[in-house]
Amino acid sequence: MKLSIIILNWNTKDLLKQAIQSIYKETNGFDFEIIVADNGSTDGSKEMITTEFPQVVPLDNKTNLGFAKGNNAGLKVAKGDYLMLLNSDVIVSDQAINKLVDYLDNNKNINLAGPRLLNKDGSFQDSCRRRLPNPWNSFIYLSGLSFLFGQNNSYRPKNIGNEQEIGEAEAISGAAMIFRRQVYDQLGGLDEDFFMYGEDLDFCKRVSDKFGKIGYVGTAVITHLYGQSSSKRKAGSIINFYDAMWLYYRKHFQQKNNFFFNFMVFCGIKIKLFFSLLVNILK
């Protein structure tokens, strides 16, 4: 099996159907499987898969395990030499998955790669090619001071380089990422301490630390409708986002800094969480 595509689903039946249809329409020339890991959907998603896509491998996680644990359940049963995590709210265009597979075939030094992601209106989704977060660029971004810096310098966490080129990235989006089996064998998939958000950045950092370069394939285009599951639980999603931010910091930076600095980071994240929840309530 050349490729296993794992799609995590939670109550996005219509989008899931659209995603699977686009995969089969735009992907050919090699053996691949689609595994749908369902996180306890109640909208008929599981029945739709069984009825309309009998060739898809269904995996019932019974309950909402979160993004990392739900995807890892799919990775455990995957058979492919290449493994791909793909959101249910995507539309694959112009043989994008073929292009990603070809890229890994032709670049043996790259172990993880991602496509160019577009929003529904065709604009570039800058989370698909970005820098890994660190305390300084995160502060600049979250404080709103990024406008003081140029589009392409190290203080900006996102939007690096030409979006249509084939090149490298420090980090790519978990909405669509492809990697070699050896990555999974050695790193064990996504870190399940992350429930939602941050697990893709953590994965990219671990891959970068262990294997080196991460690839970005700007010619492989996938539309990502973004946030279709998290929009169903807004307050919870905001909390998950900032919890993931603190978890990422603790895992990769806490031991490198003193208590005072760590405390300031913790307070900054919690203050930002408070105001984000307040804005959400007042909307």
In this prediction, residue 160 carries a pLDDT of 64
pLDDT(21) > 90: yes
pLDDT (tens digit, 9 = 90+) per residue, 108-163? 999 999 999 999 999 999 889 998 988 777 777 666 666 665 554 444 555 567 89
pLDDT (tens digit, 9 = 90+) per residue, 45-94? 999 999 999 999 999 999 999 999 999 999 999 999 999 999 999 999 99
What whole-number distance in Å separates Cα of residue 95 and Cα of residue 82? 16
Reduce the DSSP state of residue 167 to 3 states and report it. Answer: strand
Q: Beta strands 32-38 and 3-9: pairing type?
A: parallel
In this prediction, residue 141 carries a pLDDT of 66
In this prediction, residue 79 carries a pLDDT of 98
What whole-number distance in Å separates Cα of residue 17 and Cα of residue 41? 14
What whole-number distance in Å separates Cα of residue 200 and Cα of residue 225? 17
pLDDT (tens digit, 9 = 90+) per residue, 196-219? 889 999 999 999 999 999 999 999
Which CATH superfamily groups domain 3-226?
A: Spore Coat Polysaccharide Biosynthesis Protein SpsA; Chain A (3.90.550.10)
CA atoms within 13 A on the CB side of 236: 9
> Can you give the pTM of this predicted structure?
0.88
> 216 and 177 in contact (C-beta within 8 Å)?
no
> 203 and 187 in contact (C-beta within 8 Å)?
yes
> 243 and 111 in contact (C-beta within 8 Å)?
no
pLDDT(38) > 80: yes
pLDDT (tens digit, 9 = 90+) per residue, 172-191? 999 999 999 999 999 999 99
In this prediction, residue 233 carries a pLDDT of 59
Place 269 in a pLDDT band, splitting at 50, 70 and 90: confident
In this prediction, residue 155 carries a pLDDT of 44
pLDDT (tens digit, 9 = 90+) per residue, 205-262? 999 999 999 999 999 999 999 755 545 558 888 998 999 888 999 998 888 889 988 8
Residues 100, 106, 112, 113, Cα dihedral to 10°: -40
CA atoms within 13 A on the CB side of 25: 10
> CA-CA distances (angstroms) from residue 29 to 35, 72, 173?
19, 27, 25
State the DSSP H helix or E strand holding residue 182, giving kind and residue range, or none if neither.
helix 181-187
CB atoms within 10 A of CB 21: 14
